[in-house]
C-alpha cells in the first residue's frame, strides 16, 4: 500500500482529531485501566504549548533583561533528556552570531566534562539553569550541589546565579526557594519531558540565546493548526503513519539524514522517538549520526527520513538513490527558522506512531530499572570499596565480559549494534566512533547507534530495554584520571558514572539482552583501536 492509502485508513479512524480530543483509547484501546488513561490525559499539554506559551513571554523577557543587566553572560544548563536536548538544538541551529551570551549544556556525570566547566568558570558571569521536570533527577541534583559549592565559595549571593525550570511543587521548587534562586520557572505539569521543547524548558534558554519566543512559537502554531486535520495533508499524521507502519512491517530502524544546518535536530528526535515508542517488545529505533553509505549497504529493516533545506541538493540526491534501491523515504523540506514547526511536527508524529503501534507514547516503564540498579551498584561500592569486574582480558589493561542471555546475535537480520560510551568526554572521539560504526555496519550489515552515557539513559535507554530484543550492546567504560566528590554523598562523579554504566549492564542482562562490557583501566589513546579488535570477533 502507498502512504496515501495508509493515511486514508487513519483519516477514517480520526486518529488526529482523537489525539486533540485527549482520547487515550487511540493509544491503548478502550479497555485500558483508569490509571493509565488518566496518566495519558495528563501528558498531553504539549498540544496547547504553541498557543499557551506566549502568555509567559513577559516573565521570560523580564528574567532575560535582569540577567543581562547583571552581566550574566555565561549560561550553564544542568539537565538530562528532554530538559536539556532542546536547548542544545536551539543553540546549534538558531544561535545568533555575535550574541554576548554563550550556552553550555551539561548533561553528564563525566569528570572531564565537569572539570572543563569548573576550571573555565568566571563566577561573576555565570548563570546556572537547573532544569528538571521531576525536580529530583539524580544527575541534575548532583551537578547543582557541586556548582552551588563552587559559587558559594566565590560570590556573596550564589542564589542570584541560579534559576530553576521544573514542575509545580517539586523538591526543586522548595530547594530553589530556600536558596534564594534568581527565579523559579514553573512549567505546566501536563507536559512530559521529551515533549517539552516548546515549553519553558526550550523558551527560557532560547531567550538567553537571543531567540525570541515568537521565533519558535509562530511556526509551531501554524504546524499545530495543520496537524488538527483528519486529512492526508496533515504533516504530523503523514510522518507518524509512515514511521508506525514501516516499523510494523519490520522497517523499524528509522534512519535520519539531513542538511548540516539541521543535523543537530537528530539527537532530539532520537530521544523523543526512542523513549516514546520503545516498549512492550516493539518500537522505532532512530539511527542518527551514522556515516552515509551506498544504498546497498542498508538492510531491509531500514526506513529513512531525509531533511533538506533550500539550496542543499546533496540530501535530495541521496534520497533519490535510496528510493531507487527500494528503500522507503520520507522527505521533509524546511529551514532553521522553522525549527519550532519541526519540534511540533515530530511530537505529533511520534504520538501518531504510538497510536499506529498500539502503545502509550507518554510513559517510560523501563527507565526505572536502570536507576534502581545504579543505586544497587553504589551500595556495593560503599560496602566493599570496589565494583565487581571480571578478570582482565589483555595484560591487565582491559576487562571484558559478555552476557548473551538468549538475546540478539551479531549480524542477524533486523539486529543492531549499540555502542554505549562511558569514556571520558573527548570531542575528537566522535569521529573515531563514527569510523567504528561504519566498520561494524560493513562487517555485520546492521544498523549502529552511539549513545553517550549517562545521557542515553534518558533517551534510547528505554528502547534498549523495552523495545525488540534485537540489539547487541557494547558497553565501554574506563577508569577516570580524577575523582571529584559529589557534595552530600559518599561517592564521586567518577563512581556515580561507573555505577550508572554497571547498573545499565545489569538492567540489560535482566531483560535478556546481549551485552558485552569492555572496561579499560586507563584511557589510552588507542582505546577505540583496541575496542575494534574486541568487536572484530562479533561476526
The residue length of the chain stands at 539
Domain boundary among 334, 357, 380: 357
**Most confident region among 21-25, 387-391, 532-536 by mean pLDDT:** 21-25
Tell me: pLDDT of 514 over 60: yes
Q: What is the pLDDT of residue 524?
A: 56
Are residues 317 and 340 both part of a single domain? Answer: yes
pLDDT (tens digit per residue) in 259-273: 999 999 999 999 999
Are residues 399 and 326 both part of a single domain? Answer: no
Distance CA 242, CA 341 (A): 18
Q: What is the pLDDT of residue 404?
A: 54
Looking at the DSSP bridge assignments, the partners of residue 450 are 419
- For the stretch 403-433, what's the b/e string if a residue is b when 16 or more beta carbons lie within 10 angstroms of its beta carbon? beeebbebeeebbbbbbbbbbbeeeebeeeb
Are residues 203 and 326 both part of a single domain? Answer: no
Domain CATH for 438:
3.40.50.10490
C-alpha closest to that of 371 among 6, 49, 81, 35: 81
The arithmetic mean of pLDDT across residues 211-224, rounded, is 98
The arithmetic mean of pLDDT across residues 320-336, rounded, is 97
Q: What is the pLDDT of residue 398?
A: 47
- Structural domain including 104 reads 48-218
On whether residue 200 sits in a domain, the answer given is: yes
Are residues 522 and 399 both part of a single domain? Answer: yes
pLDDT (tens digit per residue) in 74-97: 999 999 999 999 999 999 999 988
Q: Which long-range contacts (CB under 8 A, 24 or more apart) does 42-46 make?
A: 42/189, 42/190, 43/190, 43/191, 43/192, 43/195, 43/362, 44/19, 44/190, 44/362, 45/188, 45/189, 45/190, 45/191, 45/199, 46/191, 46/192, 46/195, 46/196, 46/198, 46/199, 46/347
Q: What is the pLDDT of residue 495?
A: 94
Q: Which long-range contacts (CB under 8 A, 24 or more apart) does 63-69 make?
A: 63/163, 63/182, 63/183, 63/185, 63/204, 63/207, 64/207, 64/208, 66/182, 67/127, 67/182, 67/208, 68/100
Number of H helices, E strands in the chain: 21, 14
Q: What is the pLDDT of residue 432?
A: 81
On whether residue 68 sits in a domain, the answer given is: yes
Are residues 201 and 250 both part of a single domain? Answer: no
Q: What is the pLDDT of residue 536?
A: 66
On whether residue 30 sits in a domain, the answer given is: no
Q: Which band of pLDDT confidence, cut at 50, 70 and 90, is reported for residue 395? A: very low
The arithmetic mean of pLDDT across residues 511-519, rounded, is 90
Q: Answer left, alpha or beta for residue 283, where phi above 0 means left and psi between -120 and 50 means alpha.
A: left
Are residues 241 and 209 both part of a single domain? Answer: no
Q: What is the pLDDT of residue 396?
A: 34
pLDDT (tens digit per residue) in 15-40: 999 999 999 999 999 999 999 999 99
Q: Which band of pLDDT confidence, cut at 50, 70 and 90, is reported for residue 532? A: confident
Are residues 284 and 429 both part of a single domain? Answer: no
Are residues 319 and 447 both part of a single domain? Answer: no
On whether residue 405 sits in a domain, the answer given is: yes
On whether residue 158 sits in a domain, the answer given is: yes
Domain boundary among 337, 357, 377: 357
On whether residue 35 sits in a domain, the answer given is: no
Are residues 410 and 317 both part of a single domain? Answer: no
pLDDT (tens digit per residue) in 53-62: 999 999 999 9
Tell me: pLDDT of 150 over 50: yes
Are residues 327 and 423 both part of a single domain? Answer: no
Q: What is the pLDDT of residue 21?
A: 98
Top-confidence residue, 519 or 161: 161
pLDDT (tens digit per residue) in 65-80: 999 999 999 999 999 9
Q: Phi then psi for 251, rounded to 5 degrees?
A: -95, 75
On whether residue 234 sits in a domain, the answer given is: yes
Are residues 382 and 503 both part of a single domain? Answer: yes
Are residues 69 and 198 both part of a single domain? Answer: yes
Domain boundary among 333, 357, 381: 357
On whether residue 418 sits in a domain, the answer given is: yes
Q: Which band of pLDDT confidence, cut at 50, 70 and 90, is reported for residue 453? A: very high
Q: What is the pLDDT of residue 519?
A: 85
Share of the chain above pLDDT 70, in %: 93
Query: What is the domain count for the chain?
Result: 3
Amino acid at each position: 500500500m502507498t502512504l496515501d492509502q495508509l493515511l486514508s485508513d487513519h483519516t477514517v479512524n480520526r486518529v488526529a482529531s482523537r489525539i486533540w480530543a485527549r482520547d487515550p483509547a487511540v493509544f491503548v484501546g478502550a479497555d485500558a485501566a483508569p490509571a493509565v488513561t488518566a496518566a495519558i490525559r495528563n501528558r498531553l499539554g504539549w498540544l496547547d504549548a504553541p498557543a499557551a506559551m506566549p502568555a509567559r513571554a513577559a516573565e521570560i523577557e523580564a528574567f532575560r533583561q535582569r540577567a543581562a543587566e547583571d552581566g550574566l553572560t555565561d549560561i550553564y544548563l544542568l539537565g538530562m533528556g528532554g530538559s536539556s536536548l532542546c536547548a542544545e538544538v536551539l543553540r546549534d541551529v538558531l544561535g545568533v552570531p555575535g550574541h554576548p551570551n554563550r550556552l553550555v549544556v551539561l548533561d553528564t556525570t563525566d569528570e572531564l566534562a565537569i572539570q572543563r566547566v569548573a576550571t573555565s568558570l568566571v563566577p561573576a558571569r555565570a548563570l546556572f539553569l537547573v532544569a528538571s521536570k521531576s525536580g529530583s533527577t539524580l544527575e541534575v541534583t548532583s551537578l547543582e550541589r557541586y556548582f552551588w559549592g563552587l559559587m558559594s565559595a566565590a560570590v556573596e549571593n550564589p542564589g542570584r546565579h541560579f534559576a530553576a525550570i521544573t514542575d509545580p511543587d517539586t523538591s526543586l521548587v522548595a530547594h530553589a526557594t530556600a536558596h534564594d534562586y534568581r527565579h523559579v520557572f514553573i512549567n505546566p505539569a501536563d507536559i512530559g519531558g521529551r515533549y517539552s521543547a516548546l515549553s519553558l524548558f526550550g523558551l527560557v534558554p532560547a531567550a538567553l540565546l537571543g531567540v525570541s519566543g515568537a521565533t519558535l512559537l509562530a511556526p509551531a502554531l501554524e504546524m499545530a493548526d495543520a496537524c488538527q486535520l483528519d486529512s492526508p495533508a496533515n504533516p504530523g499524521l503523514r510522518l507518524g503513519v509512515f514511521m508506525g507502519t514501516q516499523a510494523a512491517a519490520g522497517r523499524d530502524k528509522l534512519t535520519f539524514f539531513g542538511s548540516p544546518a539541521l543535523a543537530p535536530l537528530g539527537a532530539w528526535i532520537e530521544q523523543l522517538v526512542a523513549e516514546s515508542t520503545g516498549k512492550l517488545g516493539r518500537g522505532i529505533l532512530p539511527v542518527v549520526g551514522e556515516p552515509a553509505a551506498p544504498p546497498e549497504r542498508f538492510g531491509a529493516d531500514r526506513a529513512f527520513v531525509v531533511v533538506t533545506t533550500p539550496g542543499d541538493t546533496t540530501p535530495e540526491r541521496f534520497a533519490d538513490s535510496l528510493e531507487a534501491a527500494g528503500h522507503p523515504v520520507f522527505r521533509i523540506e524546511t529551514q532553521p527558522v522553522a525549527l519550532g514547526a519541526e519540534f511540533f511536527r515530530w511530537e505529533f508524529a511520534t504520538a501518531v506512531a504510538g497510536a499506529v503501534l498500539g502503545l502509550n507514547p507518554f510513559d517510560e516503564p523501563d527507565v526505572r530499572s536502570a536507576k534502581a540498579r545504579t543505586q544497587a551498584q553504589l551500595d556495593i561500592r560503599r560496602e566493599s570499596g570496589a565494583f565487581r569486574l571480571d578478570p582482565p582480558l589483555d595484560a591487565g589493561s582491559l576487562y571484558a565480559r559478555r552476557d548473551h542471555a538468549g538475546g540478539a546475535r551479531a549480524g542477524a537480520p533486523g539486529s543492531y549494534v549499540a555502542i554505549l560510551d562511558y569514556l571520558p568526554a573527548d570531542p575528537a572521539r566522535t569521529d573515531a566512533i563514527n569510523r567504528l560504526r561504519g566498520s561494524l555496519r560493513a562487517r555485520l550489515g546492521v544498523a549502529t547507534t552511539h549513545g553517550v552515557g549517562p545521557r542515553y539513559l534518558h533517551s534510547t535507554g528505554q528502547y534498549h530495554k523495552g523495545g525488540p530484543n534485537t540489539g547487541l550492546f557494547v558497553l565501554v567504560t574506563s577508569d577516570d584520571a580524577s575523582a571529584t566528590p559529589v557534595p552530600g554523598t559518599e561517592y564521586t562523579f567518577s563512581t556515580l558514572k561507573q555505577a550508572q554504566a554497571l547498573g545499565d549492564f545489569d538492567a540489560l542482562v535482566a531483560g535478556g539482552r546481549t551485552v558485552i562490557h569492555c572496561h579499560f583501566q586507563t584511557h589510552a589513546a588507542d582505546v577505540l583501536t583496541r575496542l575494534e579488535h574486541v568487536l572484530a570477533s562479533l561476526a
